[in-house]
Amino acid sequence: MMLKDVNGYFEMVIAGAVVLAFLLGGLFSWVLVVRTIYFKITKQFSKTRSCDTCGKRISSSALICPSCGQHYPEGATSPSALIVGGVFGGVMFSYAGLKGIEIFIEEFLNK
């Protein structure tokens, strides 16, 4: 095997890994979006939830448990921000991944 072939092989493996990473990043972003939307919907349907501290049923929109005073801050990261970020990341990663596949095919398979 010639050195040129070895280099070409390594290039192909690295390019493939980068493309795969982009595709996985895109997939992860879309999963995050779907999960966030799913939780947002299920949370809206159930009007009450059980308190993490005392176990009493409290309103799902309550910021403080009336029974024990446990605070429920409206999420460190808001669902809307997660959805927007997830869609943005999903589109970018998916585009980069698909573009990567295109380049990968042109570069290594269509010779």
Q: Which tokens sit at 69?
A: 């005073």
Tell me how crowded residue 36 is: count the other CB atoms within 10 A of its CB. Answer: 19
Binding residues among 63-92 for Zn ion as defined by CB under 5 A: 65, 67-68, 70
Q: Does 48 bind Zn ion (CB under 5 A)?
A: no
Nearer to Zn ion, 50 or 78 (CB): 50
| Integer Cα distance of 15 and 107 in angstroms | 10
Q: Do residues 74 and 63 lie in contact, with contact meaning Cβ atoms separated by under 8 Å? A: yes
Q: How far is the CB of 66 from Zn ion (least distance, A)?
A: 8
Binding site for Zn ion (CB under 5 A): 51, 53-54, 65, 67-68, 70
